[in-house]
Amino acid sequence: MTFPALTALTLLPVAAAAVLLLLPRSSATLPRITSATLSLLILAFTLLLWVRFDHTSGALQFQERHAWIPALHVEYRLAIDGLGLIMLLLTAIVVPIGIAASWRTEKRSSLYFALVFLLQACMFGTFTALNFFHWFIFWELSLIPAFFLIRVWGGKLAGRAATQFLVYTMVGSVTMLLSFLAIYLATGTFDFIELAGRGDSFLPGVAANLGWQHVNPQHLALVLFAGVFLGFAVKVPLIPFHTWLPAAYSEAPSGVTAILTGAMSKMGVYGFLRILLPIFAPQIHRLQTSLLWITMATIVLSAFAALAQHDLKRIFAYSSINHLGYCMLAAFALVRTSDAGLLPEQYAAFSGILLQVLSHAITAATIFWFISLLERRSGGTRLLSDFGGLRRIAPVFAGLMGIALFSSLGLPGLNGFPGEFLIFKGTFPLVPWAASISVLGLLITAVFILGVIQRVFTGPLQPGRAVVPDLTSGERISFAPVVALMFVLGLYPQLVLGTLNSTVISYVHQLRF
């Protein structure tokens, strides 16, 4: 029997959490060093998986399949293809960044880091599960560590923010659950791959088994689609389901925000790509125009909102919505046509999504890492107006953070560029009007990021404003690999794309509508 790599991967963070909980409470440094080490170990394991991944095949690999609850047609089925692999990788990268950003957490730090690892375990679980029951368990369980991380270690309005986060996500989960129950009643299976394979043929099942004789099955399918859509739309998030995000991201401690934006939001994107698109492609095709309008609204409005913010965290919270909006644009554009002539464009779009997901994770997490440092050094403030002219007193800091900010902007040569480029390359031919309007988002992003750079780093050193010392050598060493990674991915994206190519091809081919 082959080694159950994916189960092991999911259990590693749980074991790490257990180790942390058993540490003596007295020491302050022991928890953080232990967690950093353990998170790097997990990253190493994930890289091992990356290396052993067969990049010539687009099929599911590392599959584990056991009967679990035959009475409900629930199987214990784990597997990943390139899509899952990239999600695992970005989670494994983001968590050490988040831990580093939380380096100075004082209050009950071992519990804090334990919760972080539990969150990572839940995320690994959702990225590898292929049966709804199992997947849903992890989807829901991830809310608990996130809630407590925001609530207990967060800012002044953390209570409300955490509650809002939980309530929104729960409502979405409930609609998703109900829709999937209906799908189960209609088709008799909870398995994602099987459901994807049916394409439009789950409609007869809906008509036959759901007992609502007088309702048009097409309409019923749309209702089911709406239920599942809502669940993911809240998570990504898409406007207008995003209102929980700015409060949650800004009230949470910055390390937690790094993980939320870096990895948790990707759960939503993954959900769209793994679940919604394959199963409901016909419905998306029918509703494509409305969905694209929602996406465009997301991209453009969030960018404008970011422009209007004064709090650094809020700026990048909205920026996060904006960046993921591009992924959603490409995702919906994929379902434009089954004309073989546009296949290369579809490949490009999908590859763009995968790259964008990885790069946004790294970039956004790193930015929040920097913000955490700023916050701590300035004594807790993070308004734009509190900083100025930091380039003079903290040049290394300014330089490194500048690189991250430029990457977020999409400067060629940094990791933000290839993803966005591919996305636009792919979507322009598919949905030209939507892509054109979305370019506006790019422009506004450039504006506010440059604005941040200007307000925080350039300009004269104002009296009465925060004095931020430069990075220590330890911090420089820790930032170095991340920044280097940004350059590497920006200059040589083939490193990642090479492994993912086969997945891209087989995914696009399997989209039937």
Contact positions vs other proteins (CB under 8 A): 68-72, 133, 136-137, 139-141, 144, 151, 159, 163, 170, 174, 178, 181-182, 184-185, 210-212
CB closer to other proteins, 174 vs 488:
174
Q: CB-based contacts of 466: which residues, under 8 Å, 6+ apart?
A: 374, 377, 378, 379, 381, 386, 387
Rounded least distance, CB 294 to other proteins, Å: 25
Rounded least distance, CB 108 to other proteins, Å: 9
State the Cα–Cα distance between residues 412 and 455, nearest whole angstrom: 23
| Tokens describing residue 153 | 């270690």
Positive or negative, the CA dihedral 480, 483, 488, 494 is: positive
CB closer to other proteins, 25 vs 52:
25
Rounded least distance, CB 54 to other proteins, Å: 31
CB closer to other proteins, 232 vs 369:
232
The number of residues in the chain equals 513
Write the DSSP symbol of residue 67: E
Rounded least distance, CB 410 to other proteins, Å: 38
State the Cα–Cα distance between residues 60 and 80, nearest whole angstrom: 5
Q: CB-based contacts of 494: which residues, under 8 Å, 6+ apart?
A: none
3-class SS shares of the chain: helix, strand, coil, % to 5: 75, 5, 20
CB closer to other proteins, 167 vs 484:
167
CB closer to other proteins, 6 vs 431:
6
Rounded least distance, CB 436 to other proteins, Å: 41
**How far from 360 is each of 41, 216, 296, 354, 419, CA to CA, in Å?**
23, 41, 18, 10, 9
**How far from 58 is each of 86, 115, 348, 508, CA to CA, in Å?**
13, 34, 16, 11
Rounded least distance, CB 99 to other proteins, Å: 23
SS3 61: strand
Contact 95, 123 (CB under 8 A): no
Rounded least distance, CB 213 to other proteins, Å: 11
| Tokens describing residue 510 | 């399997």
CB closer to other proteins, 70 vs 460:
70
Query: How far is C-alpha 255 from the geometric centre of its chain's CA atoms?
Result: 15
CB closer to other proteins, 132 vs 370:
132
SS3 383: strand
Ramachandran area for residue 63 (φ above 0: left; ψ -120 to 50: alpha; else beta): beta
Positive or negative, the CA dihedral 463, 468, 469, 471 is: negative
CB closer to other proteins, 145 vs 410:
145
| Tokens describing residue 428 | 């322009």
Give the bridge partners for 75, in sequence order: 67
Rounded least distance, CB 156 to other proteins, Å: 10
Rounded least distance, CB 148 to other proteins, Å: 8
CB closer to other proteins, 211 vs 460:
211
